[in-house]
Amino acid sequence: MASTSATLTLSSSIHLLHQEPKSSLISSFTFKPNSKKTTKTLVLQSECIRFKSPFSSSSSSKKNSPFLASAVSSAVDEDVDEEVVDGGGDTVAVAPPIPSTTKPKKGKAALPLKRDRTRAKRYLEIQKLREVKKEYDVKTAVSLLKQMATTKFTESVEAHFRLNIDPKYNDQQLRATVNLPKGTGQVVRVAVLTQGEKFDEAKNAGADIVGGEDLIEQIKQGFMDFDKLIATPDMMPKVASLGKILGPRGLMPNPKAGTVTTTIPQTIEEFKKGKVEFRADKTGIVHLPFGKTNFSEEDILINLMAAVKSVESNKPTGAKGVYWKSAHICSSMGPSIRIDIKDMLDFKLA
């Protein structure tokens, strides 16, 4: 019944549009439709009331009575934005725009999906050399890896072991070191933080950089010209201030990694020869570089078996059930090759 009354009022107002004289008009409102947005604008003038219909041109609009404005305003939906403008054209009030609710993606979420990524022609060619889900014996896998190393530079050789552990529990964390018999294939720059008589001992042992509090200050200022940082136990209270700088880079001295020690000469020699630190990430995967593609197949096999034995011997006490879930090897720019775990664990060097 209320809607019928409003319709009659609006109809009668439009009927009186041409009959009411100008002198009886007091004020004017105009509703302007916006073509880009469903918004109607309310314009206040000092003499008359005008209603601009979206279906008629501005030249054909007529002046209306005061009660026409109230009838029209009652028919406007509550969700329509209104903008009040005075006769001089100055804005009195404007409805704020609706803010966007979508947030820009960051990190891995911003990367394209795997199905949308494009591979280089070289990569597409070499991945045809192996079957995607097939498990290869250790010797065949190393042979395939050598065939896939076709870049113009010497690539690193990597092993990726998925283990049945959950590192969020203390008794299932894995962090250890392995001595690669054939080395890493790269020059390792070793820095030593020590003081007193150990200072000269570190220099004579072949350390590239030796320092105390002065070296700590240099690191705070951004100096990172080293691959390994070794510290003596008496320096650790001072080294603690470098945690936020060295921690994310994996350079923070740690007893489990063998980088906090009193036997500095022996430790320097081990890292120079090919001692590598490894740890399981939060998903339980160990990523371990163990050589270069210019190594012979036999040398790659020797280093790989040393890495496997180290991961096996350092099995966390909290690990239950099947320890090894999968094992892959690859070059740094090549596709991965899946290894038969039983063959890998039972493999013996000649």
CA distance 297 to 129: 17
- Taking a C-beta distance cutoff of 8 angstroms, is the pair 41, 85 a contact? yes
CA dist 141 to 29, 168, 282, 333, 342, Å?
Answer: 82, 32, 27, 16, 14
Q: Check whether 316 has a pLDDT greater than 90.
A: yes
CA distance 248 to 236: 18
Burial of 238 (0-12, 13-18, 19+ CB in 10 A): middle
Give residue-wise pLDDT tens across range 118-172: 778 888 888 888 888 899 999 999 999 999 988 889 999 999 999 999 999 999 9
pTM: 0.61
Per the structure block, which two tokens stand in for 228?
A: 């390994």
Average pLDDT of the chain? 77
Give residue-wise pLDDT tens across range 253-295: 988 888 899 899 999 988 888 888 899 999 999 999 999 999 9
